[in-house]
Structure 1
Amino acid sequence: MSKSDIKIINGEIITPYRIVRNGQLFIRNGRIEAISERDIDVPDARVIDAGGHYVAPGFIDIHVHGGGGSDFMDDNVESFLAVAETHARYGTTAMLPTVLTNTKVEIIRSLKRYEQAAASNMRGSRFLGVHIEGPYFSMEQRGAQDPRYIRDPDPAEYFEILDSSSSIKRWSVAPEKKGAVPFGSILRERGILPSIAHSDALYSDVAHAFENGYSLVTHLYSAMSGVTRRNAFRYGGIIESAYLIDELDVEIIADGRHLPPELLKLVYKIKGPDRTALITDAMRAAAMPEGNSILGSLTDGIEVLVEDGVAKLPDRSAFAGSTATADRLIRTMRDMADIPLIDAVRMATTTPARILGLQGSIGALAPRMDADVIIFDNDVNIKMTMIQGCIVYEPDSETTNFSENNEYDS
Structure 2
Amino acid sequence: MRQKIVNGILLTPYRAIQGGTIVIDEGQIVGVHEGSVEVPNAVEIDAKGQFVAPGFIDIHVHGGGGFDFMDGTEEAFLKIAELHARYGTTALVPTTLTAEKEDLLKTLDVYETAHRNNTKGASFLGMHLEGPYFALSQRGAQDPRYIRNPDPVEYEEILKHSSSIVRWSAAPELEGAIAFGQRLRQKGIIAAIAHTDALYDEVLLAYENGYSLVTHLYSAMSGVTRRNAFRYAGVIESAFLLDLDVEIIGDGIHLPPPLLKLVYKIKGADRIALITDAMRAAGMPEGESTLGSLKNGLKVIVEDGVAKLPDRTAFAGSVATMNRLVRNMVQLADVPLLEAVRMASTTPARIMGVDHRKGSLAKGKDADIVLFDQDFTVGMTMVQGKVIYSLLSGPSRSLAI
State the TM bucket, normalised to the shorter chain: over 0.9
1:279 aligns with 2:275: yes
Counterpart pick for 1:321 among 313, 317, 339: 317
1:310 counterpart letter in structure 2: V
2:268 counterpart letter in structure 1: G
Whole-angstrom distance in 1 between the partners of 2:40 and 2:104:
51
Whole-angstrom distance in 1 between the partners of 2:125 and 2:393:
28
Whole-angstrom distance in 2 between the partners of 1:356 and 1:305:
32
5+ long unaligned stretches in structure 2: 395-401
5 Å-filtered alignment, 1:6-405, equals 6-245=3-242, 247-396=243-392
Percent identity at matched positions?
63
Whole-angstrom distance in 2 between the partners of 1:233 and 1:279:
34
For residue 348 of structure 2, give the secondary structure of its aligned residue in structure 1: helix
Deviations 1:354-374 (A, max 9, x none): 001111000000000000011
Shift of 1:396: 4.4
Whole-angstrom distance in 2 between the partners of 1:35 and 1:315:
52
1:364 counterpart letter in structure 2: S
For residue 270 of structure 2, give the secondary structure of its aligned residue in structure 1: coil
Deviations 1:164-193 (A, max 9, x none): 000000000000000001100100101100
Deviations 1:32-71 (A, max 9, x none): 0111112222121011111111000000000000000000
5+ long unaligned stretches in structure 1: 399-410
For residue 99 of structure 1, give the secondary structure of its aligned residue in structure 2: coil
Whole-angstrom distance in 2 between the partners of 1:385 and 1:265:
28
Shift of 1:17: 1.5
2:116 counterpart letter in structure 1: A
2:171 counterpart letter in structure 1: A
Whole-angstrom distance in 1 between the partners of 2:47 and 2:295:
44
Whole-angstrom distance in 2 between the partners of 1:6 and 1:339:
32
Deviations 1:177-231 (A, max 9, x none): 0000110010010110000000000000000000001000000000000001111
Shift of 1:379: 0.7
Aligned 8 A contact 2:47 2:392 in 1: no
1:203 counterpart letter in structure 2: Y
TM-score (norm 2): 0.97
1:257 counterpart letter in structure 2: I
TM-score (norm 1): 0.95
38-47 or 353-362, larger mean C-alpha shift? 38-47
Deviations 1:239-285 (A, max 9, x none): 0000101x200000001110010000000000000000000000000
Shift of 1:395: 2.7
Deviations 1:307-343 (A, max 9, x none): 0000000000000000001111011111111111110
Aligned 8 A contact 2:19 2:36 in 1: no
Shift of 1:349: 0.1
Whole-angstrom distance in 2 between the partners of 1:339 and 1:70:
32
Deviations 1:65-91 (A, max 9, x none): 000000000011000000000000000
For residue 71 of structure 2, give the secondary structure of its aligned residue in structure 1: coil
Question: Any runs of at least 4 consecutive aligned residues in structure 1 with deviations exceeding 6 A, and if so which?
Answer: none
Whole-angstrom distance in 2 between the partners of 1:160 and 1:244:
35
Whole-angstrom distance in 2 between the partners of 1:337 and 1:139:
32
2:348 counterpart letter in structure 1: P
Whole-angstrom distance in 1 between the partners of 2:192 and 2:292:
20
Residue matched to 1:404: none
Whole-angstrom distance in 2 between the partners of 1:306 and 1:270:
32
